[in-house]
Amino acid sequence: MGGSIGYGSNVSGPGAGGAILIAAALDINITGVIDASGGYGVMGDGVIIRGSGGAIRLIGQNLTGNAPSGQSVVGNLLALPGGRIRIEGSLSPTLVNNPETIGVPPANPPILWPAANAPKARVVSVDGAVPTRPLDPYAPLVAAADIAIQNNAPVNILIETRDFPIEGVVQLAVIQKFDGRSWLPATRINGDINVATWRVTTTLPQGFVTLQARATQP
């Protein structure tokens, strides 16, 4: 899915990055830029706001590319800020991506559209507070937040998985406003393959952050 729109008072929110899927039976060679970054907007007081990054997914045998001559952008694949890039195939070091990712083998045959019972992971609470917009969080990173907490001590962040084996690995990304990102491991506290709850205990950095859950099957 794509990113979330930007938000600010007295201004229309800038657009978010969209969702891009490219699948090929053989190789994919990118000589330009695939950009799913969020758009920019300016509030009445001159503060610049931005929609969050979207998602890019590439499926092929070998994924290669070179930065186009004269371009000042960072890399060939862009999903800023806080977007996601997934590469299913052999990833060449010449294909630069931001945010960084790794290549994983595609399924055989590749799965383009997840089934209804495909594994899922989502953040369900932060320090006891539940998101008010769980289906489409705004993630504005300015002026407002989906969850507002005031706690400088470690907090519990709960993640729910569905149709996911408990032997798998669940992680939480804490993404700061200017795209600093760290992945933290989650511990399962109850549940089974059908529905399970996982916990991450951490001290969140001051200011706005985006939280993303990731589940990796064994």
Per cent of the chain over pLDDT 90 is: 36
Q: Which of 9-13, 43-47, 87-91, 190-194 has the lowest mean pLDDT?
A: 9-13
Q: What is the pLDDT of residue 2?
A: 41
pLDDT given for residue 31 in this prediction: 81
Q: What is the pLDDT of residue 184?
A: 95
Residue 34's closest CA among 98, 92, 101, 114? 98
> What's the pLDDT tens digit per position in 39-88?
766 666 666 666 778 889 999 999 988 755 655 544 589 888 778 899 99
Residue 134 has pLDDT above 60, yes or no: no
